[in-house]
Amino acid sequence: MKSQKLFAPLGLLSIILMLAGWMVYSVTGEMGSAAVSLVWIGLLLLLLFFYMFFPEIRDFITRRSTKYAMNTAIMSLIFIVIVGMVGMMSIKYKIRADLTTDSRYTLSSQTIKILKSLKDDVEVIAFYRSDERTRQAMFDLLQEYSYYTPKFKVRFVDPDRSPTEAVKYRVSSYRTTLMRFGGKEEVVVTESENKITNALIKLLSQEKKVIYFVKGHGEKQVSSKKGDGYFLVKQAIERENHDVKELLLLNAAKVPEDASVLVISGPGTNFLQAELDKLSGFINQGGRVMFMLDPGGANGLVTYLADLGFEVGNDLIIDTLSQVYGANYLTPVVVNYHKKHPITNGFELATFFPAARSVHIKEDAAKGRYDLAKTSDKSWTVKGELTEADLKFNADKHTQGPISVAAVAAVEVLLNEKKTATSQENMKTWGKVVVVGDSDLVSNTHLKLAGNKDFFLNMLNWLAEENVLISIRRKEPGLTPLMLTRAQGKIVFWCSMVIVPSLVLVVGIGVTLRRRRSA
């Protein structure tokens, strides 16, 4: 018995020695002789302890209370393992939901599309003080970017603690985020997804595409800040890292060589034959043109586009569905898009076309001919002068919807001068033409309506062969209008203006009469 008491501390001593060996290994970083010796001696003492106290250990294990305790310990261990496995899986497989109405905590589809297209690393260095009030906002935003691709490398630097880093990257102010890619650099000074994504687009762009807007026929002016101007359009295009220029086609020998896309927006007068020849020459060399034709304007272009397969109607679209969205009958609302074309694939936002004409093309996949956007079956076209009677559908004189308001076609071109080193065959390329039956949808007044800006920029980027930019962009925070149907509007009117006030009036009269009667 005395010998057993002498050996009793062996269990505790063995554990202490093994822990000491583990600590030595942790400090030195290698399993040296000291660490191995301590662990080995601890194991020998533990083995000796089990040998000396085996009967007592066996009796302890066979007790009912020990069994219950072991069961509890095992169940607790299993629970901890399950929680740990769930935690590990949640790191790799995440499901998140943004319940805000404007998805303010979710990156736009355009940003996500660009991030997933990254093939090389983008280095992002955010220079923020540790106690900077806006640091957390930028940290959360950049973490969202990193979530979609491991190639978006982010690190934060405190300029006060690491002044050499600030000097190295020539950063002289706080709240500065430096983005580097392919030898190029961009600086962002605000915590904004739009700013960061625009900087990312500039870094990834190999060259700046030039978008020319034709003038001289009463077209929309990109410098005008009036309601019908295109100043906001110009800003939106430049944010996509494109240059915007105006072109007086009449005075030009031909469309400039650096033109990626030519936009003809709302001409009021016809083009001269010499100008049409220049347009044809541009298209036949693989050029890309967007025609935006308002009802009744520049009908000479209607004939020109007919040769390319487009049927531009001399009409005006009436749409009763417009009232659902708070617009009038003369503003067709489009919610039906071609599902297979890159411009409209996955596009689900409503677009508004103030005073639009029909644009149709006979669909032919081999020639890239598609109707891109159509109004609802609650719409119809009116030819000639609009009268009060035209606001109601008449099958005898109206064409019922859906009505196409935008169409696209590809023009096959043979370039004889382009030949491969191994073949003398002609090289094929394609000119691209998009025709829209309205130019006011992206004027300063209407650009921010629902999906107008995204739809226009998607068409433009498709023409410019910037498919990675075709998506839904981040909306700036602002007012969120509530769209009511006609029936819902009547319910709101009757409840707020008639029912509730009349009930209050009746109750008031009743209370007054009852008091007088009691008196």
Q: Is the peptide bond before 55 cis (omega within 30 degrees of 0)?
A: no
Question: For the chain, what is the radius of gyration of the CA atoms?
Answer: 36
The b-or-e profile of 43-52 (16+ CB within 10 A means b, else e) is eebbeebeeb
| Residue 188 · residue 196 · CB < 8 Å | yes
- 155, β-bridge pairs: 125
| Residue 286 · residue 301 · CB < 8 Å | no
Task: Of 354, 300, 360, give the one whose Cα is nearest residue 331.
Answer: 354
> How far is 257 from 245, CA to CA, in rounded Å?
13
**CB half-sphere exposure, 248, CA atoms < 13 A:** 3
**pLDDT score for 327:** 67
The b-or-e profile of 377-409 (16+ CB within 10 A means b, else e) is ebbbbbeeeeeeebeebeeeebbebebbbbbbb
Q: What is the 3-class SS of 258-278, one letter each residue?
A: CEEEEEEECCCCCCCHHHHHH
As a whole number of Å, the end-to-end CA separation of the chain is: 104
Q: Would you kindly state where each structural domain of the chain is located, as residue ranges?
A: 2-92, 109-200, 209-313+354-373+402-469, 488-519
Task: Return the structure tokens found at 358.
Answer: 């029909």
> How far is 294 from 348, CA to CA, in rounded Å?
24
**pLDDT score for 167:** 87
CA 465, chain centre distance (Å): 18
**φ and ψ at 415, to 5 degrees?**
-105, 100
> How far is 299 from 44, CA to CA, in rounded Å?
101
- Which pairs with CB-CB distance under 8 Å and at least 24 residues apart come from 164-171? 165/125, 165/127, 166/127, 169/125, 169/127, 171/127
> How far is 283 from 220, CA to CA, in rounded Å?
22
Q: Where are the beta strands (DSSP E) in 241-369?
A: 242-248, 259-265, 288-292, 310-312, 315-319, 333-337, 351-352, 359-361
The DSSP call for residue 401 is S
The position carrying tokens 């002044």 is 163
In the three-class reduction of DSSP (H, G, I as helix; E, B as strand; rest coil), residue 328 is classed as coil
The DSSP call for residue 293 is -
> How far is 416 from 368, CA to CA, in rounded Å?
22
DSSP symbols for 4-65: HHHHTTHHHHHHHHHHHHHHHHHHHSS--HHHHHHHHHHHHHHHHHHHHTHHHHHHHHHSHH
CATH class of 209-313+354-373+402-469: alpha beta
The position carrying tokens 């978006």 is 152
Assign a CATH topology to domain 109-200. Glutaredoxin (3.40.30)
**φ and ψ at 179, to 5 degrees?**
-115, 130
For the stretch 306-351, pLDDT in tens is 999 999 998 899 888 776 666 678 888 888 898 888 888 888 888 8
Strands of the sheet containing 351-352, edge to edge, are 242-248, 209-215, 259-265, 288-292, 427-436, 404-415, 370-375, 333-337, 351-352
| Residue 215 · residue 248 · CB < 8 Å | yes
Q: How many C-beta atoms lie closer than 10 Å to residue 121's C-beta?
A: 14
In the three-class reduction of DSSP (H, G, I as helix; E, B as strand; rest coil), residue 107 is classed as coil
Q: Is the peptide bond before 159 cis (omega within 30 degrees of 0)?
A: no
Per-residue pLDDT of the chain (519 residues), as tens digits, is: 445 555 567 777 888 888 888 888 877 777 778 888 888 888 888 787 777 777 777 777 777 777 777 788 888 888 888 888 887 777 666 666 666 655 666 787 778 888 888 888 999 999 999 888 888 889 988 988 888 888 999 999 998 888 888 888 888 888 889 999 888 888 888 888 888 888 888 788 777 889 999 999 889 999 999 988 999 999 989 888 889 999 999 888 999 999 999 999 999 899 999 999 999 999 988 899 999 999 987 788 999 999 999 999 988 998 887 766 666 788 888 888 988 888 888 888 888 899 899 999 998 888 889 999 999 888 899 888 888 888 888 888 888 879 999 999 988 876 554 444 444 444 457 889 999 999 999 999 888 887 888 899 989 988 888 766 665 565 555 445 555 556 666 787 778 887 888 888 878 887 787 777 776
Domains 109-200 and 209-313+354-373+402-469 agree in fold = no
Is the full-model pTM beyond 0.85?
Answer: no
Task: Of 139, 143, 140, 126, give the one whose Cα is nearest residue 180.
Answer: 126
The position carrying tokens 């004409």 is 357
